[in-house]
């Protein structure tokens, strides 16, 4: 009798699924120093984003979700364009916008700190076309200047200065991937 109870518990436990929400990611600057975190939480009205970062230039900065989960310093160009699964134009003030990855500007205080909660109404963590975790995932990038909410393709917001990967295994991504051939085989002959 006890055996049947145990089997039932194991079956129930196996159905819990993966933990996608909340999802915390680390944010790194162009020197690969960790400067903060972004925590994503799925809600009925979209995905909430708590952004906590230090060490920025005081002032206003653009923040966007980008299409690839790649954060190669120092320019973070490998993150690609803004996350745009609905094929819209850039800009929260654009009538033909906006990208699902467009966010309001944030302001770093005189000490260089940002601690805000933002909302991504057109993005989810659950699987789907508009998921921040689709394929390999996406990334979050902070810009050197403010997004003007209008200019194509990305709001004329200066350089990419910090980046965080949004992936299911975000906490483990510093470990080298064993499936990636990182050892160059020496040709003998
Ligand atoms: Zn955009």
Q: Residue 114: CB partners within 8 Å, gap ≥ 6?
A: 36, 51, 52, 53, 54, 56, 61, 106, 107, 108
Q: Per the domain annotation, does 121 fall within a domain?
A: yes
Task: Give the model's pLDDT for residue 170.
Answer: 57
Residue 86 falls within a domain, yes or no?
Answer: yes
Say if 133 falls within a structural domain. yes
Query: Do the domain assignments include residue 49?
Result: yes
Report the C-alpha gap between 33 and 3 in whole angstroms: 51
Q: Residue 18's pLDDT is what?
A: 55
pLDDT of residue 187: 46
Distance (angstroms) between ligand 1 centre and the Cα of 33 equals: 26
Q: Specify the CATH number for the domain of residue 43.
A: 2.60.40.200
Domain hosting 49: range is 20-170
Query: Ligand 1: distance of its center to the CA of 59 in Å?
Result: 20
Domain annotation covers residue 120: yes
- Taking the centre of ligand 1 as the mean of its atom positions, its distance from the CA of residue 141, in whole angstroms, is 11
Query: Ligand 1 center to residue 104 CA distance, Å?
Result: 11
Cα 27 to ligand 1 centroid, rounded to whole Å = 19
117 in a domain, yes or no?
Answer: yes
Q: How far is the CA of 161 from the centre of ligand 1 (A)?
A: 16
How far is 100 from 45, CA to CA, in rounded Å?
13
In a domain, 134, yes or no: yes
Q: Looking at the domain assignment, is residue 125 inside a domain?
A: yes
Ligand 1 centroid–CA 101 distance in Å is: 6
Per-residue pLDDT of the chain (189 residues), as tens digits, is 556 555 555 544 443 445 688 999 999 999 999 999 999 999 999 999 999 999 999 999 999 999 999 999 999 999 999 999 999 999 999 999 999 999 999 999 999 999 999 999 999 999 999 999 998 999 999 999 999 999 999 999 999 999 999 998 755 444 444 454 444 444 444
Q: How many domains in the chain?
A: 1
* CA-based radius of gyration for the chain: 19
Kindly give the distance from the C-alpha atom of residue 165 to the centroid of ligand 1, in angstroms, as a whole number.
17
């Amino acid at each position: 009798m006890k055996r049947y109870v145990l089997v039932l518990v194991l079956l129930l436990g196996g159905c819990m699924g993966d933990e996608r929400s909340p999802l915390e990611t680390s944010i790194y600057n162009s020197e690969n120093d960790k400067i903060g975190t972004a925590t994503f939480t799925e809600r009925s009205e979209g995905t909430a984003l708590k952004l906590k970062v230090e060490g920025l230039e005081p002032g206003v900065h653009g923040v966007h979700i980008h299409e690839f989960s790649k954060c190669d310093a120092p320019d973070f160009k490998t993150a690609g364009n803004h996350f745009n699964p609905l094929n819209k134009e850039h800009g929260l003030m654009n009538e033909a916008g906006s990208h699902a990855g467009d966010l309001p500007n944030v302001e770093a205080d005189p000490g260089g700190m940002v601690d805000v909660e933002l909302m991504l109404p057109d993005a989810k963590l659950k699987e789907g076309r508009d998921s921040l975790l689709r394929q390999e995932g996406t990334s979050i990038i902070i810009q050197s200047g403010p997004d003007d909410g209008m200019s194509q393709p990305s709001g004329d917001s200066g350089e990419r200065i910090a980046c965080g990967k949004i992936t299911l295994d975000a906490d483990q991504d510093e470990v080298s991937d064993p499936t990636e051939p990182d050892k160059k085989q020496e040709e003998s002959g």
